[in-house]
Chain A
């Protein structure tokens, strides 16, 4: 049984942790939260220089060729540090979409500049509340409105979900500097990660992926992104737990550290349990992602549900552990709280993913669950 990351990847994770701590990424997140910039350009450049963005992109296209397992360990540390950079949008969404569905020419044209950080990418799917897509493409021209688009305020290109001429959902690549694109920053519950409304009026749109394969492609992209987001969520949950624990050891009430009271101990034990279950599910998702395994749809859904649950629990109970101070702007608790909810909804809510999970389990003929012994993965 070798259900763990390799020593090289563990080392990469340690390096990432050290780098983000030395650069005080959390303070950078706070500056973005308080300021007007949508991200920290200096931090983004440094991350790009280390080759992280292209971790899962093959070397032939300017990437580091570390594979998706490498991207997972980086995601965990970026999630723990709440790093204010458009990493998820560029790497797990835009680049991933082009990696799995791009033509050789599209990969040549876009992947190197995404990997180098020269271009920021994102994915535009949502159109307000509900799941309906009304944006459409006719004669390679896109019209419609997308909101919220993560990093839509700073992105250079977007992979957009819109109806093709067959009135079915498909993906399109849109360069956002082109005519017919207008954008507006929008306010969300997490100002440490910028979002925008993108309005398209006959903007040039290039089809991505085979005709008629749009729905399956969007599903596949979401599954892959779900695993990567799950690592950010597990990293965030662990960071919130660490913060709560540190505070509980220092803060005195009734003559002793509040961490010595069972109400706090039991609360943090529950957060620990949820985080470890999420970590285990994320690891399985990482395996399935790295192998393109048929188990990926189920594994990704389980990873996302577990991680969303764990990060939400950790973040809100971190506030609770801090008492009144946890409710202040000045303390960092609310950064995790905001990010937990953002990530829980970013690819669709846990409720939707639970439904997705059950639908996929129903479709499987042979469950291969073997829960008692766990021999079959």
Chain B
């Protein structure tokens, strides 16, 4: 057993290190970032675009994308190596994650060569940003329960309806959207997939204020929005199959929860005094610390096992599916416990006055989202049980019923 790169991996890593050292600013130690907190800062989008352009010019954007998508044609392990090195630097990736992680791969898999050539390079360069218009009030986990209508009129489709939780819609140039083209068919069979220009007439974007107080996502309303048939991805009625491509990529793209982890809670504990003495000497605190250390290391070494398979050119094993599920709850628990340790003052959110720049307080407020978005805890458990353990799928009462005959309840 060893933790070494192969000679080729080592060469790649050296090239990445050289690029980053020459072009970006290194993060200081202990600078855990909150979730998307950097995105609200003024000028953040411009800086992110400038960085993405540099990456693209150096050949480090789209590392695993085929060359004819504008990518590097590299391997998954090279992408992992790049991500590892870039994580040490104060650069923002968040704006392009959805576009590059989900939307463009979907477009490239289902679209024409011309569409690939038109859209992939600008997305990779950071010139164009994409969003994903999937979830609706009618369905998130039950995505196939969506209701936004697409009606064919001549060579165009007319879209009416509403999407929700659309991250980044407010600055996106394009979006991928799945719609209901035939409500008389069972729900999975009557869907059609498109991509559209977010500045099309009839598209209205309204920010949603989140529990955390920020507004990174939106409602997007469609009133007679026209999409050319040329922007349809996949056959009419095959929208579900196309959406599955996107969702598969989402599982790979969505990583672990950013925010206070073992290092941050350990540092906090060593600085605080409790009513009965230093926090680090409190036995309840010590027990919790040990449990989180064991979990965090378990996740880290599980990633090593995945990397080992990637390094050999194998696909990741099923254990790769546990990361999000474990880390989201761990984050919420660490945030809550960190605040507990601060006692009555734990409720204060002033970043200058509070330990760790009030990161624990922020994490308390954004961690609920991480247990829900990108595959909720419950859906992830279903996926582990069904796809990894091979247990039977849930009984579906809605699979073969025409969509417009399904019961929907009041909410």
Binding site for B on A (CB under 8 A): 1-5, 69, 241, 245, 248-249, 256-257, 259-260, 262, 264-266, 268-270, 272-273, 276-281, 283-284, 286-287, 290, 301-302, 305-306, 309, 351, 353-355, 357-358, 361-362, 367, 369, 371-375, 377
* A269 in contact with B385 given A280-B302, A357-B294 (CB within 8 Å): yes
> Which of B1, B77, B283, B304 interacts with A280 by CB under 8 Å?
B304
B287 touches A351 (CB 8 A): yes
> Which of A4, A269, A273, A301 interacts with B305 by CB under 8 Å?
A4
Whole-angstrom CA separation of A257 from B87 in the bound complex: 45
What residues of chain A lie closer than 8 Å to B88, measured between beta carbons? 373
Q: Which of B77, B83, B289, B302 has the most CB of A within 10 A?
A: B302
Any A CB within 8 A of the CB of B120: no
What residues of chain A lie closer than 8 Å to B299, measured between beta carbons? 277, 280
Q: Tell me the minimal C-beta distance from A76 to chain B in angstroms.
A: 15
What residues of chain B lie closer than 8 Å to A264, measured between beta carbons? 391
Q: Tell me the minimal C-beta distance from B47 to chain A in angstroms.
A: 20
> Which of B294, B325, B382 interacts with A273 by CB under 8 Å?
B325
Q: Which residues 68-103 in B have Cβ within 8 Å of A in the complex?
A: 77, 83-85, 87-88
B301 touches A280 (CB 8 A): yes
Q: Which residues 42-73 in B have Cβ within 8 Å of A in the complex?
A: none
B87 touches A373 (CB 8 A): yes
21 CB-based A-B contacts, threshold 8 Å: A1-B5, A3-B2, A3-B304, A4-B308, A241-B389, A249-B390, A265-B381, A265-B385, A265-B386, A277-B298, A279-B319, A280-B297, A280-B301, A280-B319, A281-B294, A353-B290, A354-B291, A355-B287, A358-B293, A369-B296, A373-B85
Residue of A nearest to B385 (CB): A265
> Which of B1, B83, B303 interacts with A2 by CB under 8 Å?
B1
A371 touches B296 (CB 8 A): yes
Q: Which residues 373-392 in B have Cβ within 8 Å of A in the complex?
A: 378, 380-382, 384-386, 388-392
Contacts A1-B307, A257-B391 supplied; 18 other A-B pairs, CB < 8 Å: A1-B77, A2-B4, A3-B3, A249-B392, A260-B393, A265-B386, A265-B391, A269-B384, A270-B381, A272-B389, A276-B302, A277-B298, A277-B299, A277-B322, A361-B266, A362-B280, A373-B85, A375-B84
Whole-angstrom CA separation of A284 from B298 in the bound complex: 9
B392 touches A257 (CB 8 A): yes
3 cross-chain pairs, A with B, having the tightest CB-CB distances, nearest first: A277-B298, A354-B290, A265-B385
What residues of chain B lie closer than 8 Å to A357, measured between beta carbons? 290, 293-294
> Which of A262, A351, A369 interacts with B263 by CB under 8 Å?
A369
A371 touches B391 (CB 8 A): no
What residues of chain B lie closer than 8 Å to A353, measured between beta carbons? 290
> Which of A270, A283, A309 interacts with B1 by CB under 8 Å?
A283
* A374 in contact with B266 given A269-B389, A272-B388, A354-B287 (CB within 8 Å): no
B305 touches A3 (CB 8 A): yes
A306 touches B311 (CB 8 A): no
Encode contact with A along B233-254: 1 for CB under 8 Å, 0 otherwise: 0000000000000000000000
Residue of B nearest to A6 (CB): B1
What residues of chain A lie closer than 8 Å to B326, measured between beta carbons? 273, 277
Whole-angstrom CA separation of A278 from B325 in the bound complex: 16
A269 touches B381 (CB 8 A): yes
* A3 in contact with B307 given A283-B1, A354-B286, A362-B280 (CB within 8 Å): yes
What residues of chain B lie closer than 8 Å to A266, measured between beta carbons? 378, 381-382, 385
Residue of B nearest to A256 (CB): B395
Whole-angstrom CA separation of A306 from B391 in the bound complex: 25
Any A CB within 8 A of the CB of B262: yes
What residues of chain B lie closer than 8 Å to A245, measured between beta carbons? 389-391
Encode contact with A along B165-189: 1 for CB under 8 Å, 0 otherwise: 0000000000000000000000000
Any A CB within 8 A of the CB of B219: no
* A249 in contact with B391 given A266-B381, A268-B385, A281-B297 (CB within 8 Å): yes
Whole-angstrom CA separation of A262 from B383 in the bound complex: 11
A284 touches B297 (CB 8 A): yes
B384 touches A273 (CB 8 A): yes
